[in-house]
Amino acid sequence: MPDFKAQVFVCATVDAEVDGRHCGSKGGSEIRAKFNRQIVEHGLISTAAVNGVGCTSQHGLCAQEECSVIVIGPKAEMGATWYVISPDDVDEIITEHLIGGRVVERLVNKERAVKFS
């Protein structure tokens, strides 16, 4: 099993909802699929993992076609960065954050942050 430098958690919750307000009914499924495709295309399959995750309680911040995404790494000092993104933002997260090691500030969910010391 590889040691990943980064991990992406994409909220994909649809459980027990009736109003389509959770990330899985918005952009979550498409965003996760796009991350998986782009990880392969950028040759990151052995260094970055993409996983679906349950509700992050951030769906209220997400418009239709958006979801909550948490990226950990690729450097320890980056901690975990919470984003609210659409499918159009996936490539920028990969090239800037996962490859370049730079947080994409315009997409950051200012309500959440995790820093490791």
Distances (CA, A) of 66 to 35, 49, 74, 76: 14, 20, 23, 27
- 104 pLDDT band (50/70/90 cuts)? very high
Q: Edge-to-edge strands of the sheet including 80-85?
A: 48-53, 6-11, 67-72, 80-85
pLDDT tens per residue, range 31-84:
999 999 999 999 999 999 999 887 777 766 666 677 778 898 888 888 889 898
pTM (two decimals): 0.85
pLDDT at position 60, please? Answer: 67
Of the chain, the percentage scoring pLDDT greater than 90 comes to 40
CA distance 103 to 29: 23
Cβ 92 vs Cβ 29: under 8 Å = no
pLDDT at position 50, please? Answer: 94
pLDDT at position 18, please? Answer: 60
Domains of the chain are: 6-107 (3.40.30.10)
Reply yes or no on whether the pLDDT at 22 is more than 60.
Answer: yes
Cβ 59 vs Cβ 73: under 8 Å = no
